[in-house]
Structure 1
Amino acid sequence: MATFLYKIGRLAFRRRHFVALIWVALLTLAGVGATSAPAAGSSSFSIPGTEAQKAFDLLEQRFPGMSADGATARVVFEAPGGEKVTAKHHKAVVERTVRELRDGSEVTSVADPFSGHAVSKDGTIAYAQVKYKVSGMELEDASKDALKQAAQSARDDGLTVEIGGDALSAVPETGATEVIGIAIAAVVLVITFGSLVAAGLPLLTALIGVGIGVSTITALANALDLGSTTSTLAMMIGLAVGIDYALFIVSRYRAELAEGREREEAAGRAVGTAGSAVVFAGLTVVIALVGLAVVNIPMLTKMGVAAAGTVAIAVLIALTLIPALLGYAGRKVKPAGEKSRMLGGGRAAAAKGRPNMGTRWASFVVRRPVAVLLLGVIGLGAAALPASQLELGLPDDGSQPTATTQRRAYDLLSEGFGPGFNGPLMVVVDAKSSEHPKAAVATVTDDIKGMRDVVTVTPPTYNASGDTAMITVVPGSK
């Protein structure tokens, strides 16, 4: 492989105009595809084989107009101190708000708090459940604005109103974190190489690779049902490995120049030696990402394959575009250690005889292996301490910052209806094979009511044919 990569490095260096043109064309093609492709909706999330997925599939089959995966919103009302939402004035405000919520074109249903028994025992808190046709990510801004406006109108009439649920969820924005990471990487590379050109090459090629990868994902997002998190993962990993792999090649190239070799030969040797490490490192990452398919969650499989594609692009760029750009850079990329040789008089001799910082650190580690090992274990233990407080589970509105309306709605519901109210369980009863479906559903409902830690079991909701029922169970704890 080393010989093959050596030839690729020399060819890319010599035919740099052709190589650069190919990569620019690929970047342009991916960019045009991304801008012209239809906007992708929210990615569907499913876990085949699980009991929860079977319940959702049954709902989609037996309740076709229900939109089981549609967005929901809980508009929570709280009366001022010492008053109740059941008071005449406050009740009129809540009922008016419910009517306003029903006007949306994407709204499928709005449950009135008073007819749906959604008022706390002390009468101070009530909520209206709003159901939409589409998911929170697909919900139009007009529907979200109408929801917020209806809540604000009730606030103006003296009630405390907060909105929970996923109707106000937004597509996560990316960019700021990546820009900060690139800036830090640029500073580190400039310090390492002592040259803006040498430091800029890994950054430039990493950005080109990520640009091609993310643009391709965006272009295919609608056709392949790729969510926004797919491009985020590809961007994060693509930037990391893109800079890393290019750094291998550039560092080896400078070392070859320091040995007195010609620039084309140095590029070939750099790709032939460091390029082998790049290929094997890239394959390792690709295999690990594609291995996400083992868990059999389609969304994770798509994320892994897309990120693996971006890593493969980073490997190809490191092996071809880096030597081509080194050819363009010419003498602006200097041999390793050239600054020391350029020092004058006794300073040059002293610098030549003194080992660099990396060599000194390696010598220290070899002399004190036990101390360094203990220090590493202690550091790892300190870094792992937060894991002792780790709470596993999917995030909900209780994970939101306390300043958000979703978190305030979550807290109000816990206060008025108990801590388990924010984590209801949906039970779907398939009684199609039973001779008496309603009797079978009633038996299941009674069994659930007799379980420990069950606070409320809603009356069953039947489908049109009456052979399938949906029951909501509110536990006593979250």
Structure 2
Amino acid sequence: MAKYLFKLGLWSARSSKKVLLGTLIVLLALGALILSFGWSFSSELTIPNTPADKAAKVIGAEFAAAGQTGPKIQIVFKAPEGQTLDTAQWQKVMDDTMKGIGEVSEVAGVTTPAQLQNLSPGKQIAYGEATFKVPAPDVKEETKTKIEQRLDNARAAGLQAESRGDVELSQGGEFPVEVIGIIAAFVILAVTFGSFLAAGMPIVSALIGLGVGMLGIMLATHVVEVQSVSLSLAAMLGLAVGIDYALFIITRFKQQLAQGYSVQESVAIANGTAGSAVLFAGVTVVIGLLGLSVARIPFLTMMGISSALCVITTVAVSLIVLPAILGWLGHKISPAKAKQQAKKRNAKQAASGSAWGLFVTKRPLLVAVVSVILLGVIAIPFFHINLGLPSEGTTKAKDTTERKAFDLLTEGYGAGYNASLVIGAVVDRPSDAVTQDIAKIADEIKQLPGVQAVSPAIPGPSGKLYLMTAIPQTGPDDTKTKSLVKAIRALSERTEADHRIELLVTGTTAMNIDIADKLNQALPVFAALIVILAYMLLVVVFRSLVIPLKAVLGFLLSLGATLGFVVFVVQDGHLLGLLGFPGSGPILAFLPVILIGILFGLAMDYEIFLVSKMREVYAHTGDARQAVLDGVRDSGKVVTAAGLIMISVFVGFMLAPDAIIKSMGLALAFGVLFDAFVVRMTLVPAVMSLMGKSAWYMPKWLDRILPNVDVEGESIMAEMEKKGKKIA
């Protein structure tokens, strides 16, 4: 593999202008296609064939003929302080507002608060409803603007008016959070390389790879359903790994320049050596991302595929386009004077070793124990994790109309109103005495623990399905609400046996609960699969049975600490203000799966970058301790810079207004912090020092049958030495 990448890098360096022109043409062509066809992302996070999904389809089919389907929004009103909404003045303002909304072209119809008779007990809060003619994603911005104008008129009259539901009125305009990570990455790279030109190259390379990947994802939205959150995750990951991979290659390029190789020789060697590590690091990330499909959850599968596409394009750009950039501008990175200084510095480092490496290898047992205890303590909150899909009360910023509407409904009707459960009673017998049985069942539901109220049952057009709504006493994110959903479904077993009436439970809250349960079931299978596949890959790369095992166990420690810290912040409510979260709530149901897929790949990236150098030294010297010292010294700075860049990019996404993106940014930022600095840079050298030569144990029979991927590029360097540093 190293020889092929060596030749690829040499070709790119020699054909730099052609490669860069071709890249520009590809970007322009993809951009032109996007401008012509646009894109169509979905906002739905659903799982087919869950109990709530099946119930929603049955109920939807029953009431579709009656024209009672279509996306809806609630318009929530609140009277001024000290006043109530039951006066003629405020009734007129609410009626006029709803009438104005009903006149908007894409609105099918409206229902006023007076028609719904839903004044809150204190008579200060009420809401109307508007139903749309078109699916929620197809509602035009012009329509949203006109509805917002009607709300502004109500506000000008003196009422508070907010909206929530299937169509969100809060529009974009947010600062592009990716810019924050890019700026931070540029500063870190400038310090690492001591050159603004060199610092800009990894960012340019990453942006090209990310651009190709994201444009490809946008085009794919016309063929398959892609969720909008997939693009954010792909951008977050593609940008971070793209910069890191370019950093690793450019670092090796500078080392070869300092040793007297020409620009083209240095490019080719860097691509064959560091490029091999980048390729295998990228493969581990892609394995983790594609492994998300094991859960058989469509939106999760698409998130994995989208992110994997961005990783693949950034790897390809790092191995093809970056060598062309280096071949074109590489001679400006390290002038002759700097080469001599680098030689002296390298000689001094070789004699003294890394200060951090010396510290760890002198007291490996103490360092290892402290590291494990630290990560273990941080992981403790993980054991009371509550998974779910957060509601508007935890995902929406406090200044959005959706969050304000959510809070008003909670204030007026109680926390359980926002957790309403839609219950369909399906009748499987002749209609005699059905009405009485449905009434009895409704009374039984009222008596269940945690039920605040149950609406009267409404018969469907066929007479075979009755619809009612149960209001829990607790909110949508509360574990007691989950227990209530299970209790109603358990009651269905008895109603089927006694009355031949099945109870179906659906609604947003029930769907979120089912999604969380489905993800929990998929998590062990997914985790086991990617760990086994990655272990096998690392055995081939490192020619060792023990080091891949150490890498996997280290990942489990960092994963536990990451999830523990996320629970401590997001669920337990600590540091919310400092980290910018709108409120505490459950952990995003698919966050652990995504975190495992991504963090495992990144952890293996750092493992490959760090340990591949150790293996190279051990293969030449047979000195296990020196291999650890040289690995920490030569690759430690790269891993440190790469980790800081990753954290910077993910912290940038933590500043996004969307709490889902924010929570993923938090998890990945602290996951990289724990893994790169506590596990890879501290625990790994400590454990390898304790194991000594046994770390590199490999049965001879297994070593013979495994392919030699030469990830360190030993064959290239041997060939270069034979040719006297000249490329044939």
TM-score range, shorter chain: 0.7 to 0.9
Structure 1 residue 426 and structure 2 residue 393: aligned? Answer: no
Aligned match for 1:365, one of 360, 367, 372: 360
Find the aligned partners of 1:392 and 1:169 in 2 and give their Cα distance: 28
Q: 1:282 Cα deviation (Å)? A: 0.7
Classify 1:358/1:241 alpha carbon distance in 2 versus 1 (closer, same or farther; 3 Å). Answer: farther
Find the aligned partners of 1:182 and 1:417 in 2 and give their Cα distance: 45
Counterpart of 1:362 in structure 2: which amino acid?
G
Structure 1 residue 460 and structure 2 residue 457: aligned? Answer: yes
Structure 1 residue 75 and structure 2 residue 85: aligned? Answer: no
Find the aligned partners of 2:220 and 2:352 in 1 and give their Cα distance: 47
Secondary structure of 1:114's aligned partner: helix
Aligned match for 2:408, one of 412, 419, 443: 412
- The residue correspondences of 1:268-417 to structure 2 (distance < 5 A) are 268-334=268-334, 339=338, 341-342=340-341, 353=348, 359-373=354-368, 376-377=371-372, 380=375, 392-399=387-394, 400-417=396-413
Find the aligned partners of 1:98 and 1:145 in 2 and give their Cα distance: 15
Task: State the TM-score, normalized to the length of structure 2.
Answer: 0.59
Count of matched residue pairs: 471
- The residue correspondences of 1:205-220 to structure 2 (distance < 5 A) are 205-220=205-220
Task: State the TM-score, normalized to the length of structure 1.
Answer: 0.87
Q: 1:35 Cα deviation (Å)? A: 1.3
Find the aligned partners of 2:159 and 2:175 in 1 and give their Cα distance: 38
Find the aligned partners of 2:390 and 2:351 in 1 and give their Cα distance: 48
Q: Which residue number corresponds to residue 119 of structure 2?
A: 119
Structure 1 residue 176 and structure 2 residue 176: aligned? Answer: yes
Q: Which residue number corresponds to residue 445 of structure 2?
A: 448
| Kept in 2: contact 1:340–1:352 (CA 8 A) | no
| Kept in 2: contact 1:12–1:323 (CA 8 A) | yes
Find the aligned partners of 2:389 and 2:345 in 1 and give their Cα distance: 60
Task: Give a deviation string over 1:262-319, Cα, whole Å, max 9, x none.
Answer: 3333222222211221111111111111111122221221121111011111111111
Task: Give a deviation string over 1:312-361, Cα, whole Å, max 9, x none.
Answer: 111111111122222111421328x9637349xxxx97995356998222
Structure 1 residue 3 and structure 2 residue 18: aligned? Answer: no
Q: 1:425 Cα deviation (Å)? A: 0.8
Secondary structure of 1:18's aligned partner: helix
Find the aligned partners of 1:358 and 1:93 in 2 and give their Cα distance: 77
| Kept in 1: contact 2:241–2:311 (CA 8 A) | yes
| Kept in 2: contact 1:44–1:225 (CA 8 A) | no
Find the aligned partners of 1:6 and 1:350 in 2 and give their Cα distance: 27
Gaps of 5+ in 1: none
| Kept in 2: contact 1:56–1:68 (CA 8 A) | no
Q: 1:135 Cα deviation (Å)? A: 5.1
Secondary structure of 1:224's aligned partner: coil
Task: Give a deviation string over 1:52-111, Cα, whole Å, max 9, x none.
Answer: 111222234333365756242232233541x43223333333333332332222223433
Same amino acid, percent of matched pairs: 35
Q: 1:471 Cα deviation (Å)? A: 1.9
Q: 1:117 Cα deviation (Å)? A: 2.9
For the aligned residues, what is the CA RMSD? 3.2
Higher normalized helix content (fraction of residues):
2
Task: Give a deviation string over 1:197-235, Cα, whole Å, max 9, x none.
Answer: 322221111111111111111222233222322222221
Counterpart of 2:323 in structure 1: which amino acid?
P
| Kept in 2: contact 1:6–1:272 (CA 8 A) | yes
Classify 1:89/1:250 alpha carbon distance in 2 versus 1 (closer, same or farther; 3 Å). Answer: closer
Secondary structure of 1:63's aligned partner: helix
Which stretch shows the higher mean deviation, 437-446 or 283-292? 437-446
Classify 1:384/1:148 alpha carbon distance in 2 versus 1 (closer, same or farther; 3 Å). Answer: farther
| Kept in 1: contact 2:169–2:401 (CA 8 A) | no
| Kept in 1: contact 2:170–2:402 (CA 8 A) | no
Find the aligned partners of 1:393 and 1:42 in 2 and give their Cα distance: 20
Q: 1:152 Cα deviation (Å)? A: 3.3
Find the aligned partners of 2:25 and 2:175 in 1 and give their Cα distance: 24
Counterpart of 2:121 in structure 1: which amino acid?
K
| Kept in 2: contact 1:217–1:231 (CA 8 A) | yes
Structure 1 residue 471 and structure 2 residue 459: aligned? Answer: no
Classify 1:249/1:79 alpha carbon distance in 2 versus 1 (closer, same or farther; 3 Å). Answer: closer
Q: Which residue number corresponds to residue 486 of structure 2?
A: none
Secondary structure of 2:64's aligned partner: coil
Structure 1 residue 27 and structure 2 residue 23: aligned? Answer: no
| Kept in 1: contact 2:63–2:460 (CA 8 A) | yes
Find the aligned partners of 1:154 and 1:360 in 2 and give their Cα distance: 67
Classify 1:390/1:361 alpha carbon distance in 2 versus 1 (closer, same or farther; 3 Å). Answer: same
Counterpart of 2:76 in structure 1: which amino acid?
V
Find the aligned partners of 1:449 and 1:213 in 2 and give their Cα distance: 52
Find the aligned partners of 1:9 and 1:372 in 2 and give their Cα distance: 40
Which stretch shows the higher mean deviation, 161-170 or 285-294? 161-170
Classify 1:135/1:456 alpha carbon distance in 2 versus 1 (closer, same or farther; 3 Å). Answer: farther
| Kept in 2: contact 1:73–1:166 (CA 8 A) | no
Secondary structure of 2:466's aligned partner: strand
Classify 1:349/1:9 alpha carbon distance in 2 versus 1 (closer, same or farther; 3 Å). Answer: closer
Task: Give a deviation string over 1:339-391, Cα, whole Å, max 9, x none.
Answer: 37349xxxx97995356998222222222334544564576468668879976
Find the aligned partners of 2:110 and 2:259 in 1 and give their Cα distance: 76
Classify 1:314/1:443 alpha carbon distance in 2 versus 1 (closer, same or farther; 3 Å). Answer: same
